[in-house]
Structure 1
Amino acid sequence: MKFLYCLSILSVVFACQPSETTETIDNPFVVELNELVDFANVTATDVEAYGTYTINQSAQAVEQIKAASTPTFANIFEAFDDISNSAATASNKTFLMYWTSPDSLIRATGLETYKRIDSLFRSVYSDKDLYNKMVSFKETDDYASLSPKKKLLVDDLIDGFELSGVGLNAEDLATYKKLNEEINDLTSEYATNMNTANEILVLNEVGAEGLPENFKKTYAIGEGRYEIPVINATNGPVMKNASREMTRKNYYVKFNNRAADSNLAILDELVQKRYELAQLMGYDTYADYNLVPKMAKNPTNVWDFVNGLVEASKGKAISDLKELDQARATYSNGADEALDSWDMSYYKNEILKNEYNVDPEEIRNYLPMDECLKGMFAVYQNLLNYEFKKVENGSVWHEEVEMYEVFEAGNLKGRFYLDLYPRPNKETWFYCVPLVSGKQKPKGYEVPEAMLLGNFTRPTETLPSLLSHNELSTLFHEFGHIMDQMAYTGEYSLQHDSKSDFTEAMSQIFENWIWDYETVSSFAKHYETGEVLPKETFDNMLKAKNVASGYSAIGSLRNCMYDLNLYNLYDPNNKIPTDDLWKKIDNELGIKDFYVEGTHKQASWIHINTHPVYYYGYLWSDVYAQDMFSVFEKNGLQDQATGVKYRKLILANGSQRDIVEAVEEFLGRPSNNEAYMKSLGL
């Protein structure tokens, strides 16, 4: 991306581990409170049996709620939180198997089991009898006397039911369920096509000119011959360094055509079916429907936000393009006649190297993964007052996966897994994947679990995994999501997650620490010599931080506009081909024709597949992230008191309290966008 986010497999109203019951089965997934799953010995049969067990238990528990004679908070909402918790954990863990297992049968069974659980809970959320029980409780004096936190749980759950078709008549409800199942099948098919695309760029020595030597060694298949997989881990090194324009162009076209032969048609179906779903629910567009539970509330607010940022960054973007074009004229040796989309990263890199004395590939040598992990752990442990302990010989789904436990004052607070490197058939992006939500149970507190799924350059026999500074930012970002998961201590799993257009803020804030020399120099050491990253080099990096920042901002906004065009401006009677949408947006921006004929970025773009009407949330969140970071700038980036306050007020909040109120308490004032605009150099 680098736009990364914490993926919730079910919507926020489906939260997480089988509810406590006297019935049990012999299955590695069915464990006692806070026991570990024996992932290494999981079979496809185990996955299927776990799903069946969870579905049966959940269905029985729902019937028990509906049989309650007098609705109370305990027998309706607390009981439903138990069911939801159980189903979401099963959903998360079976989907994890689909995304990460090296066993093809387990992957297939994981996906199929996830779909079965999802189908059950779509039915549960449209159960009129269950909904009526909830509404009847809200009309009682007992509801009026609830704490604000519990009232929010009641209100959000009822809203979730209303957005899930509970008010539809029988015929429309059947259509609603059918559309959801079809959408689910299409998103899964799209993701599988994307993750199994096997594009390779074959180069000789001439074509590989400019590529870093360590990079070439990694992908050499003989003397002067290289086979480079077209994946996220290789995109930066090729596009920033390949001095041959044809190499950059060929890579760019391959990268932006992954799965296009199948996914373009799937995307067309997805957009149509999501539109039909919104219409069925009484909304003009899918964006209107999707935005109801988010901070932004409606498309008008999102468009106003996006258009405002376009106006604010347009001047800088135009200036950046002139600077990049000048770099092309200076450093291309006459080879390039025009500045094309596959040239942008390369000429930005030339500016960094020649005008700021910053060589990103040389900086990479100071950022071996193991040292970066240790340094990052130290930052988070100090700020949040946590302690991480590696679990040796933990049972994991692949030998490269590592597991850690999180402690506060000696008490277990959570667990996280690291699955950092690409491999065949594994999900290709970067995520924090929630597995278990925090929840109070009769036998004690169920601690959260999560997994950091990465696709960083894997180590070889002669080289460690070396990160670019941008990849270090990705690592800090995703681990921020992990800490968001670990920090939750609420009573109910349904309140574990924040608003989806705020959730990125809680990890974006931590990207700022990689721009602090005291922090970075504590672990940035040359993988061969042990030399610390020189202060002069880092100072040059700071000076160059906002090179092409306007162009980068417009690139993000262009993606936002594409997402919104798909899901807010879609007209079934006047369908615009998804390739033509890029041209339409470029014309509206009036900056440059960025679209490259014959490419189809939208065929391998995870957001518009599984997270529609989400992309604006990165920018929306970043406004809050930079504003909250200003408190650390004032109090000190290593100030633990501020870090713990942030953990307790923001990370641990979930949806237990209105997030705007929580942010204002942390800031000591209403939030504004001044720090965000400053961070862009605007």
Structure 2
Amino acid sequence: MNTPRRPRSAPGAAGAPKITSTPEPLVLPEADAAEAWIKERTSTTTAHVRELADQLRSAPPRQALDVLKAWDELSLELGSLGGLAGLLANVHPVEAVRAACEDTELEVDRLRTELTQDKALYNVFADLPAAETEALDPLAARLLEKTLQDFSRAGVDRDDATRARLSEINERLTELDLEFSRVARDDVRITTATPEQLDGLPADWLEEHPVNDEGLIEITTDYPDALPARMFVKDPAVRRAVTVAGLERGWPHNDAVLKEMFALRHELAGLVGYADWPAYDAEVKMIGEGPAIPEFIDRIAGAADGRMKRDLEVLLDRYAQDVPGASAVSSADALYYEELVRQEKYDVDSQVVRTFFDFAKVHQGLLDVTGRLFGLRYEPVSDVVTWHDDVSVFDVCPAESDADSDGERLGRIHLDLHPREGKYKHAAQFDLATGAKGRQLPEGVLVCNFSRGLMEHDHVVTLFHEFGHLIHHVLGGQGEWARFSGVATEWDFVEAPSQMLEEWAWDADVLQTFATDQAGEPIPADLVARMRAADDFGKGYQARQQMFYAAISYWFHKERPDDLTNRLQELQAAYSPYPYLDGTHFFASFGHLGGYSSAYYTYMWSLVIAKDLFSAFDDDDLFAPEVAARYRDRVLARGGEKDAADLVADFLGRPYSFDAYAAWLAS
């Protein structure tokens, strides 16, 4: 998941935020004007942010609440500009626009560092009279606490030389993160094969991939190409070639990029008083402390060990029928043999399953399901400029049956769901505009890479997952403070609501509302039950694979090894169910080493909480209005207004627990 921020409304007056009763959505430029537009917007917005900072520094408002409002307005404008640039840098079809947006991201991060290291600005908050701060309401007091923490973590109390070095490090880290992402995004590798070598692939896939002038078919590393090839192609040489191509993206260039990134993060943490980067990063997460990360990784790995061994034995038995004497299943063959186990042991054929998941039906079904669940309706918007014709736009409004609503638009969503050259290669939600009540309408963007025809069920689950972030962004974007808007909780909680929404993509009653075959027949309930059973197969080794990724994330930052490939092999041997594939360098395109840095454990941490959240729902009625409304209002709509643990407790009526996850893993 990715959550950048952006600008939208005209700059307000200094002091109190500019309030309008119904903020309008952002108006984007046509493609040929986008480069000049982003440059002008960057110049105007950063100048205005500096003006607001100057006024706050030299003539701060008398009341503590007005000081916080002025800072929140400044933060909203700067964060919104960065978010806009972060989105367009990853999706705009014009390379010059993407480059200009990367420049904007650098400028935004440079200015943010400058402001949070400004001692005069810090003193405006630190010197607020106790009587004033004690009179603040709980949300304003929380904002003051978080603001002072931001200044401290930026090194505002360090000497001039240290602050200057921190500025250099932050700027270079932004450059490296952009470079790492750009190289991984643009490094699309191609495997070629004859039609005969692609025996096993679905007919619709082959129809979409005609032979080239040499009589060969091209398979890119974009996952609508690569995933079916790895799942269905019978030729092991082709499966291996496609797998290796995916694992080699970004290599060798990103090896040096990552080493410099790890070194600079470590230096930054040390300069502001932390033992290492994981300790610095964990302080603002639910987990709290860096050493707790490997403890959590090993706890999950241990809990999954028995289930992993049982499932791997089944997989290896099937693998050995074709590869006699094999002692382990190669990662290049795992998806193919998982598919065979599903067919032979669980009577689930993914090529049959996918006939029920036409993209257009799934797209509409997603809107219908989430609209019903959260009391929303999605109004299509056609008269709007987007960055590409593939993008569909919807206004999000309360359901007409919501008697407590005034019917006003809650936000706007943009769905960019198919692959193209120069576009972000995975699946993520980006902010287009941060919501702030009366000031700015929340707008979010789903950026995915799905087939235009039939979808794998795994991709349907992914679509529900990412849409969960989008809903969180919109529903959480209705509050007063931009700082707490949308997905503004601790980073190791942000995946939990999305992981929980995946459950609706596994329920037979839900799926039958939109998953129909070409004849219009809904997916059979007994097939969904078998799909569930087949999906449960392998969850032990899938958990261990996630802990392998989490271990890379943590130990690469903790140790900063000279030889990343060698350390990768050691961690793979310790955690992964699959042996290392010779000559591959997965970390060179492991995008989460950028945004999630040392904290990839958060996906599993969030899953533990997601299973607990879902335990409150009735399996026989996933749309029960009382529990759905309570979840919407007490978790999603609150954004970052409370610590995540408190939000969960407000919904569950108790602290979150490991029990639901442990029971699921053992079942």
TM-score (norm 1): 0.92
Distance 1:338 1:295 in 2: 37
1:292 aligns to what? 283
Task: Give the AA of the match of 2:652.
Answer: L
Distance 2:410 2:522 in 1: 34
Tell me how far 1:614 sits from its aligned partner. Answer: 2.5
Is 2:592 the counterpart of 1:579?
Answer: no
Tell me how far 1:417 sits from its aligned partner. Answer: 0.2
2:479 aligns to what? 490
Q: 1:184-205 CA distances to partner (integer Å, 9 max, x unpaired)?
A: 1111111111111131110013
Distance 1:124 1:680 in 2: 46
The 5 A counterparts of 1:303-322 are 303-322=294-313
Distance 1:157 1:412 in 2: 30
Distance 1:69 1:192 in 2: 41
Q: Residue 356 of structure 1 contacts residue 540 of structure 1 at CA under 8 Å; is this kept in 2? A: yes
Distance 1:622 1:367 in 2: 25
The 5 A counterparts of 1:606-617 are 606-617=591-602
Instruction: Say which SS state the counterpart of residue 423 (structure 1) adopts.
Output: coil
Instruction: Say which SS state the counterpart of residue 399 (structure 1) adopts.
Output: coil
Moved more, 177-186 or 529-538: 529-538
Instruction: Say which SS state the counterpart of residue 260 (structure 1) adopts.
Output: coil
Instruction: Say which SS state the counterpart of residue 432 (structure 1) adopts.
Output: strand
1:84 aligns to what? 75
Is 2:450 the counterpart of 1:456?
Answer: yes
The 5 A counterparts of 1:254-653 are 254-330=245-321, 332=322, 339-408=329-398, 409=405, 410-440=407-437, 444-457=438-451, 459=452, 465-488=453-476, 489-496=478-485, 497-526=488-517, 528-570=518-560, 575-589=561-575, 594-633=579-618, 636-653=621-638
Task: Give the AA of the match of 2:449.
Answer: N
Q: Residue 19 of structure 1 contacts residue 86 of structure 1 at CA under 8 Å; is this kept in 2? A: no
Distance 1:545 1:198 in 2: 29
User: Which residues of structure 2 form unaligned runs of 5+?
Assistant: 15-21, 399-404
Distance 2:306 2:474 in 1: 41
Moved more, 417-426 or 312-321: 312-321
Q: 1:430-485 CA distances to partner (integer Å, 9 max, x unpaired)?
A: 11101212213xxx35221010001112x3xxxxx221111011000000000001
Tell me how far 1:602 sits from its aligned partner. Answer: 0.4
Tell me how far 1:501 sits from its aligned partner. Answer: 0.7
2:120 aligns to what? 129
Q: 1:580-605 CA distances to partner (integer Å, 9 max, x unpaired)?
A: 1122223434x756211210000111
Distance 2:63 2:619 in 1: 47
Distance 1:119 1:343 in 2: 46
Over 3 Å counting, the alpha-carbon distance change for 1:447 and 1:132 in structure 2 is same
Is 2:3 the counterpart of 1:8?
Answer: yes
Distance 2:313 2:202 in 1: 27
Moved more, 445-454 or 549-558: 445-454
Task: Give the AA of the match of 1:428.
Answer: K
Among the aligned pairs, what percent are the same residue? 25
Q: Residue 18 of structure 1 contacts residue 87 of structure 1 at CA under 8 Å; is this kept in 2? A: no
Equivalent in 139, 150, 157 of residue 149 of structure 1: 139
1:21 aligns to what? 12
Task: Give the AA of the match of 1:567.
Answer: H
Distance 2:577 2:100 in 1: 46
Count of aligned positions: 648
Instruction: Say which SS state the counterpart of residue 535 (structure 2) adopts.
Output: coil
Instruction: Say which SS state the counterpart of residue 198 (structure 2) adopts.
Output: coil
2:195 aligns to what? 205
Instruction: Say which SS state the counterpart of residue 416 (structure 1) adopts.
Output: strand
Q: Residue 438 of structure 1 contacts residue 446 of structure 1 at CA under 8 Å; is this kept in 2? A: yes
Instruction: Say which SS state the counterpart of residue 116 (structure 1) adopts.
Output: helix
Distance 1:64 1:227 in 2: 59
Q: Residue 19 of structure 1 contacts residue 82 of structure 1 at CA under 8 Å; is this kept in 2? A: no
Distance 1:368 1:430 in 2: 19
Equivalent in 97, 101, 120 of residue 92 of structure 2: 101
Tell me how far 1:395 sits from its aligned partner. Answer: 1.3
Tell me how far 1:120 sits from its aligned partner. Answer: 0.8
Distance 1:316 1:635 in 2: 27
Tell me how far 1:33 sits from its aligned partner. Answer: 3.2
Instruction: Say which SS state the counterpart of residue 208 (structure 2) adopts.
Output: helix
Distance 2:490 2:301 in 1: 24
Distance 2:319 2:61 in 1: 74
Q: Residue 71 of structure 1 contacts residue 136 of structure 1 at CA under 8 Å; is this kept in 2? A: no
Tell me how far 1:369 sits from its aligned partner. Answer: 1.3
Distance 1:105 1:16 in 2: 20
Distance 1:593 1:351 in 2: 17
Tell me how far 1:71 sits from its aligned partner. Answer: 4.9
Q: Residue 17 of structure 1 contacts residue 85 of structure 1 at CA under 8 Å; is this kept in 2? A: no
2:17 aligns to what? none
Task: Give the AA of the match of 2:445.
Answer: M
Tell me how far 1:658 sits from its aligned partner. Answer: 2.4
Task: Give the AA of the match of 1:299.
Answer: G
1:44 aligns to what? 35
Tell me how far 1:70 sits from its aligned partner. Answer: 6.1
Task: Give the AA of the match of 2:227.
Answer: G
Q: Residue 190 of structure 1 contacts residue 266 of structure 1 at CA under 8 Å; is this kept in 2? A: yes
Q: Residue 649 of structure 1 contacts residue 662 of structure 1 at CA under 8 Å; is this kept in 2? A: yes
Tell me how far 1:300 sits from its aligned partner. Answer: 2.1
1:251 aligns to what? 242
Q: Residue 51 of structure 1 contacts residue 114 of structure 1 at CA under 8 Å; is this kept in 2? A: no
Equivalent in 44, 47, 58 of residue 56 of structure 1: 47
Distance 2:562 2:665 in 1: 33
CA RMSD between the two structures: 2.0
Over 3 Å counting, the alpha-carbon distance change for 1:375 and 1:70 in structure 2 is closer
Distance 2:116 2:546 in 1: 35
Distance 2:384 2:427 in 1: 22
Q: Residue 546 of structure 1 contacts residue 681 of structure 1 at CA under 8 Å; is this kept in 2? A: no
Q: 1:63-87 CA distances to partner (integer Å, 9 max, x unpaired)?
A: 1111235653233211010011011
Task: Give the AA of the match of 1:128.
Answer: K
Moved more, 63-72 or 97-106: 63-72
Tell me how far 1:48 sits from its aligned partner. Answer: 0.4
Q: 1:395-434 CA distances to partner (integer Å, 9 max, x unpaired)?
A: 1110110110011142110000000011001111111101
Task: Give the AA of the match of 1:453.
Answer: V
Is 2:162 the counterpart of 1:172?
Answer: yes
Moved more, 274-283 or 64-73: 64-73
User: Which residues of structure 1 form unaligned runs of 5+?
Assistant: 24-31, 460-464
The 5 A counterparts of 1:659-678 are 659-678=644-663
Distance 1:519 1:220 in 2: 36
Distance 1:586 1:227 in 2: 30
Moved more, 672-681 or 195-204: 672-681
Instruction: Say which SS state the counterpart of residue 660 (structure 2) adopts.
Output: helix
Distance 1:290 1:398 in 2: 36
Task: Give the AA of the match of 2:145.
Answer: D
Tell me how far 1:624 sits from its aligned partner. Answer: 1.1
Instruction: Say which SS state the counterpart of residue 491 (structure 2) adopts.
Output: coil
1:231 aligns to what? 222
Instruction: Say which SS state the counterpart of residue 168 (structure 1) adopts.
Output: coil
Tell me how far 1:671 sits from its aligned partner. Answer: 1.5
TM-score (norm 2): 0.94
